[in-house]
Amino acid sequence: MKAIVFEGKDHPLKYASIANDPREGMVKLTLKSAALNRRDYWITLGLYPGKPNLPTVLGSDGCGLYEGKEYIICPNVDWGEKSFPSPGYVILGYEHFGTFAESIYVPSNKLYPKPSHLTVEQAAAIPLAGLTAYRALVSRCGAKKNDRVLISGIGGGVALFACQFALALGCEVYVTSGSSGKIEKAKELGVIEGVNYKDPSAMIQLAKKVGGFDVVIDSAGGPGFNTLLKMCRMGANVGIYGGTVGNIDGVSVPNLFFKQISIHGSTMGSDQEFAAMLDLINKHKIIPIVDRRYDLSEGVEAVNSMKNSSQFGKIVLDIA
């Protein structure tokens, strides 16, 4: 089959043919659409942990056909039965062949009916980013109606799902971004206000104006994380699921304990959370935002385009 094939960080990512042999106990999904995550880009740079047998096929998100019906894939491999992942937990698209391909073998219990209000492209955009956003926002931070929620870096795929989920839950949602254009797009979705994360004083001013935030969701870390903590109100929950900028120095410890802030690390989510996330999407008819689409044959270009984070929402591959 044709696929986006990864042979190691010192080899160029390529669109090529690769054997896709049947796997025992698994069903074959004919893929129609796949979506990118920053993880795919980190893998090409050798910055993602894991021990794949190379060559492998990238891609964690997909939507396709099995026995004439459309499904999306839960990308979890061996999460286990507990609320935290088992030691052997991995995500589709590195140790196991992923979705940037014409077909994939997966266990049938990882296939979930495509939400009927969505196109295959919109549905393909959901799995990894939607699951990560759901666990960080709902399971870990307990976001609920009327909470004042701040989502940082709204251009990110996960951030945008967190924003849409928070709006659906009835939260008051605010955002940060490096781009004023993205803040304006977020306002069109129902976000109240946004500030540039490169301007810490504007962030503090926003927090003072609104009275602080109950929930903060971040994937950047770095020095800006301390500013986010200063924006919290008493008893806030802060969810962090990524470290795009880097480690966190200079955190004000008194700010943490006087305000009784809880910081929750979060990664992906269980299969049960995947089902709950789809229920939320179906109930509120949430439509994932697709920034742009490429053909599978242009998948290398699509992955490389993540370098400058110009997207607002998800980048999708069409698979004929």
Ligand X SMILES: NC(=O)c1ccc[n+]([C@@H]2O[C@H](COP(=O)([O-])OP(=O)(O)OC[C@H]3O[C@@H](n4cnc5c(N)ncnc54)[C@H](OP(=O)(O)O)[C@@H]3O)[C@@H](O)[C@H]2O)c1
Q: Which of 143, 221, 179 is nearest to 311 (CA)?
A: 179
Q: Does 134 bind ligand X (CB under 6 A)?
A: no
Among 100, 134, 165, 197, binds ligand X (CB under 6 A): 197
Q: Which of 5, 13, 37, 148 binds ligand X (CB under 6 A)?
A: 37
CA–CA dist 149, 240 (Å, integer): 14
Q: Output the smallest distance, CB 132 to ligand X, in A.
A: 4
- Taking the least distance from each CB to ligand X, the nearer of 115 and 194 is 194
The distance of closest approach from Cβ of residue 239 to ligand X in the complex, given in angstroms and rounded to an integer, is 10
Choose one: 74-82, 104-112, 118-126, 148-156; the region binding ligand X (CB under 6 A). Answer: 148-156
Cα 44 from Cα 35, distance rounded (Å): 16
Total residues at interface with ligand X (CB under 6 A): 34
Q: How far is CA 304 from CA 15, 36, 121, 298, in A?
A: 13, 11, 20, 10
Report the nearest approach of ligand X to the CB of residue 167 (Å).
17
With contacts defined by CB under 6 A, name the span among 1-9, 32-40, 82-90, 274-282 that binds ligand X.
32-40
List the beta bridge partners of residue 151.
Answer: 175, 217
Report d(CA 200, CA 220) in Å as an integer. 14
Q: Which residues, 6+ apart, have CB-to-CB distance to 160 below 8 Å?
A: 129, 154, 186, 288, 289, 312, 313, 314
Site string for ligand X, 91-130 (x = CB under 6 A): -------------------------------------xx-
Ranges of beta strands (E only) in 7-99 are 14-17, 27-35, 56-57, 61-66, 69-73, 76-77, 90-91
Q: Pick the binder of ligand X from 75, 93, 115, 155 (CB under 6 A).
A: 155
| Residues engaged in binding ligand X (CB under 6 A) | 37-39, 42, 128-129, 132, 152-159, 176-179, 182, 197, 219-220, 222, 224, 241-245, 267-268, 306, 309
